[in-house]
Amino acid sequence: MLKYVLKRIGYMIVVFFAVSFLMYCLYNLIPQDQARMELEPIKSTMKPAEYQARYEELRKEMGLDDPIVVRYARWMGLTKDLKGNMKGLLEGYFGYSRYFKQDIVEVVKEPIKNTIFINIFATILALGITIPLGIYCAVHKGGKIDNFTQVLTIVGYSIPTYIIALVFIYVLAVLLRIFPVSGMGTPGANYTGLKFYTDRLYYLCLPLIVMTFGSLGGMTRYVRASMIDALSMDHIKTARAKGVHEKQVIYSHAWRNALLPIIGIVIGWFLGIFSGSVIIENTFGLSGMGSLYIKGLNQHDYELTLAIQMFYTVISLVGALITDLSYGLVDPRVRIDK
Amino acid sequence: MKKLLAVLLALLVLVGCTGGNGGNEGNGGSDVVNQIIYGSTTELNGDLGNAWWGNNASDALVRSLINDYSVIVSNQGGEFIENKTVTSGVTSVVNEDGSKTFTVGINKGLVYNNGEPITAADFVAYALVAYSPALKEAGGKVSPDTVVGAPEYQSGATNVLSGVRLIDEYTYAITINPDYLPYYFDITYASLSPLYLPMYASADLTVKDDGEGAYLDGGALVPEELDATRNIYKDRVSAGPYQLEDLDLGTLTATLVINPNYAGNFEGVKPSVEKILVVKAVQETMMDQLETGAIDFLSTLTDGSEVQRALDMEATGNFRTVHYERNGYGAIFFQCDFGPTQFIEVRHAIAYLLDRNEFANTFCQGFGSVVDGPYGLAMWMYKEAKDELAATLNSYTYSLDSAVEELKAGGWVYNEDGSDYVDGSGLVRWKKVTAEEAGDYQFNKTLADGTILMPLHIEWSSSEGNSVSELLAVMLANGDQTKAAGMEINQNIMSFSDLLNYYYRDASEGDQYGVKTYGMYNLATNFSAAYDQSYSYTVDPELLAMGYNTFFSVDNPLLDKLSMDMVYGVESGDNQAYLDVWVQFIQEWNRYLPAVPLYSNVYYDVMNAKIHNLECNSLFDFDQAVVYATVE
């Protein structure tokens, strides 16, 4: 087991460096002159000669004329930066955001908190509904509720989240005025304690409903299909023939078998709490990782977007390892010591 | 199963009901009625460190609302005037070396929001921080060249800023580098704002002047400390109509309340709206936010459907709108040093081939207009010279015949093989050009006798997902009239950054960008209150290489001269001289036509009907206009 984990970690390091180099090169292929962008706001306050001098100085300061491998090594922290410090990704320094004019760690602080806050609720809510619903539909296959759920989930699965969000906003916020259209809290309210959380949850209700509705389709159908497969297995028939209680057949015998294909997705969902939903966050005006990522791209702040992507790369690599390990835990037939 | 579903639904309803009280407060049933919730489509970054670091629009709005007392401000018409609330007078003297010294008197009795007095030292402190090497190291971008001694001070060669003097407790002086004079807007150089030094340094710094210039005594500025001031939200010391109560990056909301110590704007007007909240408005749903009371004010709507909805909302009596002309325009920009667009007749022909009124009407959906030069309809210069411009400017009224005439006059009268062009043939026109005119334009053809022919084929660069480009493609590039005139326009869709690299011919980002490739681009631009077009039409090869003249109007030194003379050849205060040159510049521009103006939007501000007297315009923004507003 330990040997397997160490081997996987070794692979992860190789993949991490390969991905980081590829992504760094890709972002640097984008044609833009960062020094020019930096100086553009004050260009009109300078005479041309001064502008040119400042421009060249800035290019040097930013190391833009160095070969890409040198810049990558500097960014990664494999070599000293232009100020002579070992300060890169490997040293825990995620870089500097040109748009926010701040260290990236500072920039992501608030958005990642918001994203985690939203996603924890969304994930629990979605799993809390989809798993029981999927099981129920599988057990009562062909029943009224199953048919209704099939229609509902196919609708939720087919319609883009963006459209779902706009429809829900129109109905629940504009027509019925139950929830606010967007935002994360009552403007200027300065609530504290419980009131703060209820206010925050009130504002997040609509995004959570949309996120949950959008994710119902896929997961419910997946659980249902997995359970139907499990319920058709011979040992289930045997258990029933032996007179085992139906609840025990479903939750003890069938569910454990159905869990194997689902567990990867469930773990993925939990790891996904760090990544923001670009569409939901932008539609509801939430300050999260998704909207930050889009802002970074729109503002050509590639050091920021690169840092976010590297963070997700690490999460994905760790997630893949955890998923593989969990297969072994759930299903003794899966051996993970090789 | 049923129980679980019931519990979850109950939880949602419970949260909705308990939180709903809070939500209703923001939805119009607020405890604080006398407030305006300003919806901004730009997310707050929370950078309050002047404009030295970033230029995020929402941050700039908050900064403007909490900082005032600039010595020179622009009024409702965009005119630069002395802020009489702040200054007892500004005098100037031209020195022997050609530099100019402005001496500024500061009124007594001004205080920060914390009650501490404001003196001339606070204004000098602004310069000492802005031009400091520490600020530069902290990533602040301030150009020091206009002020005498500032470059040396910024480089760290000296700790004395010789061009800024603390004369006495209520007087400071600032000396401008002669290289930047005369300058029509030089009065703006005299302008400084108060800066509360204890917020910018932990050391006990004081501003001193021993006769050689101002300096900071008692320690040094630290880059990290300067950087940290950008994000001070609690008890932030400022001197504007409002003070910061809270800035929450979690909810992207800034809360501002009236500064009780504010002495008034340049007209002595103090705000009466108690609270202003700057919140995020989502482009797709901002009209819903307004309608449901989540926000009270939206500015500069241009989209036709949004404007129409705003007008419909106004008809209910619950909302009101204010509209004004944009101080800027969208246009087809040419590069005038290669290919067909180097010829004035071709540029004219393109203008004639586009029905600009129809274009503006379609694109702005009825909420826009057409201009005939690089000006905005709100400018005082335009208002003054309106009749003269109307009589002298060519409006290039849509006409295929006029376009063909221009092309014929310009020598576009050949076929590809050198034979005479027949009107209506549907073929592309060609022109005999000299080797110099031909340059290395890739579509040229050389006949056996050595004659070089250039086709009337124009490569057009347009950015992706751009509705102006889409309409231009339909109305111009693919229009029947364009083909009938013998012209071919080939649209090339690319990313905006790619477009800009070609536009600036920025070879540092790739050799391909340094090659003359596209003759026309569609872009939009705005003008600031200081209408300064200097260097934008330079014919100096070095400046051209630095990207100063993106029109590459190298064959028009007059345009260069007029654009420079307009600001660098006119003494400040001589409005008539400025206006005269401005009119000549516009006329020459209209004749030479380095760009074809397409549209100038009409901006709509829409607000809750409870707000009165909030009259913004394109030269007088919300932060300036809100002090006149009332909420009833």
Please check whether residue B286 is in contact with residue B295, taking contact to mean a CB–CB distance below 8 angstroms.
Answer: yes
Looking at the fold, whether B587 and B449 belong to one and the same domain comes out as no
| Domain presence at residue B309 | no
Looking at the fold, whether B446 and B353 belong to one and the same domain comes out as no
User: Which of A48, A67, A101 marks a domain boundary?
Assistant: A101
| The two structure tokens encoding residue A111 | 């958005």
Confidence of residue A260 (pLDDT cuts 50, 70, 90): confident
What 3-state DSSP class applies to A277? coil
Burial class (CB in 10 A: 0-12, 13-18, 19+), B90: middle
Q: Of the candidates B1, B53, B146, which has its C-beta nearest A101's C-beta?
A: B53
Looking at the fold, whether B184 and B130 belong to one and the same domain comes out as yes
Looking at the fold, whether A172 and A38 belong to one and the same domain comes out as no
A97 contact B CB<8A:
no
Counting the structural domains of chain B, the total is 3
Q: Which positions ≥6 away from A299 have C-beta within 8 Å?
A: A98, A99
Distance (Å, whole) CA B376 – CA B382: 7
pLDDT (tens digit, 9 = 90+) per residue, B270-300? 999 999 999 999 988 999 999 999 999 999 9
- Least Cα separation, residue B88 to chain A (angstroms): 27
| Domain presence at residue A336 | no
First-to-last CA distance in chain B? 53
Looking at the fold, whether B201 and B335 belong to one and the same domain comes out as no
User: Which of B201, B231, B261 marks a domain boundary?
Assistant: B231
Looking at the fold, whether A260 and A201 belong to one and the same domain comes out as yes
Tell me the CATH number at B393.
Answer: 3.10.105.10
B235: left (phi over 0), alpha (psi -120 to 50) or beta: left
| Domain presence at residue B589 | yes
Those of residues 184-243 in B touching chain A at CB distance below 8 A are 230
User: Which of B231, B255, B276 marks a domain boundary?
Assistant: B231
| Confidence (pLDDT) at A261 | 76
Looking at the fold, whether A97 and A113 belong to one and the same domain comes out as no
Question: Given an 8 Å threshold on Cβ–Cβ distance, is A180 in contact with B26?
Answer: yes
| Domain presence at residue A335 | no
| Domain presence at residue B51 | no
| Domain presence at residue B451 | yes
Measured in whole angstroms, how far is the alpha carbon of residue B351 from the centre of its chain?
26
Please check whether residue B162 is in contact with residue B213, taking contact to mean a CB–CB distance below 8 angstroms.
Answer: yes
Greater confidence (B206 vs B513) lies with B206
Looking at the fold, whether A277 and A175 belong to one and the same domain comes out as yes
Looking at the fold, whether A71 and A132 belong to one and the same domain comes out as no
Looking at the fold, whether B89 and B178 belong to one and the same domain comes out as yes
Looking at the fold, whether A109 and A96 belong to one and the same domain comes out as no
Looking at the fold, whether B384 and B512 belong to one and the same domain comes out as yes
User: Which of A77, A101, A125 marks a domain boundary?
Assistant: A101
| Domain presence at residue B162 | yes
The residue to which tokens 């150009």 are assigned: B143
Confidence of residue A154 (pLDDT cuts 50, 70, 90): confident
Question: Given an 8 Å threshold on Cβ–Cβ distance, is A185 in contact with B139?
Answer: no
User: Which of A53, A70, A101 marks a domain boundary?
Assistant: A101
Tell me the CATH number at B119.
Answer: 3.90.76.10
- Is the predicted pLDDT of residue A31 greater than 90, yes or no? no
Q: Of the candidates B32, B37, B141, which has its C-beta nearest A42's C-beta?
A: B141
Q: Which of A13-27, A265-279, B134-148 has the lowest mean pLDDT?
A: A265-279
| Domain presence at residue B20 | no
| Domain presence at residue A337 | no
Please check whether residue B458 is in contact with residue B520, taking contact to mean a CB–CB distance below 8 angstroms.
Answer: yes
Looking at the fold, whether B357 and B437 belong to one and the same domain comes out as no
Looking at the fold, whether B437 and B559 belong to one and the same domain comes out as no
- Is the predicted pLDDT of residue B54 greater than 60, yes or no? yes
| Confidence (pLDDT) at A338 | 52
B26 contact A CB<8A:
yes
Looking at the fold, whether A85 and A111 belong to one and the same domain comes out as no
Measured in whole angstroms, how far is the alpha carbon of residue B25 from the centre of its chain?
36
Distance (Å, whole) CA B301 – CA B295: 15
Please check whether residue A38 is in contact with residue A301, taking contact to mean a CB–CB distance below 8 angstroms.
Answer: no
Q: Where are the beta strands (DSSP E) in B347-506?
A: 368-369, 430-433, 445-446, 452-455, 457-463, 488-494
User: Which of B206, B231, B256 marks a domain boundary?
Assistant: B231
pLDDT (tens digit, 9 = 90+) per residue, A57-98? 888 888 888 999 999 999 999 998 888 888 899 999 999 998
Those of residues 114-133 in A touching chain B at CB distance below 8 A are 114, 125, 128-129, 132-133
Q: Of the candidates A33, A133, A202, which has its C-beta nearest B22's C-beta?
A: A202
How many C-beta neighbours within 10 Å does residue B303 have? 17
CB-CB neighbors (< 8 A) of B250 in chain A: 110, 113-114, 184-185, 287
| Domain presence at residue A257 | yes
CB-CB neighbors (< 8 A) of B253 in chain A: 183, 185, 187-188
Looking at the fold, whether A293 and A203 belong to one and the same domain comes out as yes
Which domain, by its residues, includes B446? Answer: 413-455
| Confidence (pLDDT) at A54 | 86
| Domain presence at residue B582 | yes
Nearest CA in chain A to B231: A102
pLDDT (tens digit, 9 = 90+) per residue, B369-379? 899 999 988 88
Question: Given an 8 Å threshold on Cβ–Cβ distance, is B279 in contact with A45?
Answer: no
Looking at the fold, whether B389 and B427 belong to one and the same domain comes out as no
Looking at the fold, whether B543 and B418 belong to one and the same domain comes out as no
> Considering the entire predicted model, what is its pTM?
0.85
Looking at the fold, whether A137 and A74 belong to one and the same domain comes out as no
Closest of B88, B80, B90 to residue B107, by C-alpha: B88
Question: Given an 8 Å threshold on Cβ–Cβ distance, is A184 in contact with B513?
Answer: no
Instruction: Give the A:B interface size as CB pairs under 8 Å.
Output: 190
Looking at the fold, whether A23 and A169 belong to one and the same domain comes out as no
Distance (Å, whole) CA A73 – CA A80: 8
- Least Cα separation, residue B613 to chain A (angstroms): 23
pLDDT (tens digit, 9 = 90+) per residue, A91-117? 999 999 988 888 999 999 989 998 988
Looking at the fold, whether B446 and B556 belong to one and the same domain comes out as no
Please check whether residue B308 is in contact with residue B288, taking contact to mean a CB–CB distance below 8 angstroms.
Answer: no
Question: Given an 8 Å threshold on Cβ–Cβ distance, is B292 in contact with A201?
Answer: no
What 3-state DSSP class applies to B293? coil
Distance (Å, whole) CA B107 – CA B263: 11
Residues constituting chain B: 632
Looking at the fold, whether B390 and B425 belong to one and the same domain comes out as no
| Domain presence at residue B144 | yes
B9 contact A CB<8A:
no
Distance (Å, whole) CA B555 – CA A190: 62
Looking at the fold, whether A87 and A111 belong to one and the same domain comes out as no
Distance (Å, whole) CA B259 – CA B120: 21
What 3-state DSSP class applies to B602? strand
| Confidence (pLDDT) at B128 | 97
| Domain presence at residue A50 | yes
Question: Given an 8 Å threshold on Cβ–Cβ distance, is B250 in contact with A190?
Answer: no
Those of residues 542-561 in B touching chain A at CB distance below 8 A are 542-543, 546-548
Looking at the fold, whether A81 and A174 belong to one and the same domain comes out as no
- Least Cα separation, residue B153 to chain A (angstroms): 15
Distance (Å, whole) CA B48 – CA B238: 11
Tell me the CATH number at A133.
Answer: 1.10.3720.10
Q: Which positions ≥6 away from B140 have C-beta within 8 Å?
A: B49, B52, B53, B130, B226
| The two structure tokens encoding residue B299 | 């500015």
**Strand-strand pairing, B35-40 and B297-301:** parallel
Measured in whole angstroms, how far is the alpha carbon of residue A331 from the centre of its chain?
27
How many C-beta neighbours within 10 Å does residue B308 have? 15
Counting the structural domains of chain A, the total is 2
Q: Which of A322-331, B71-80, B114-123 has the lowest mean pLDDT?
A: A322-331
Which domain, by its residues, includes A40? Answer: 2-101
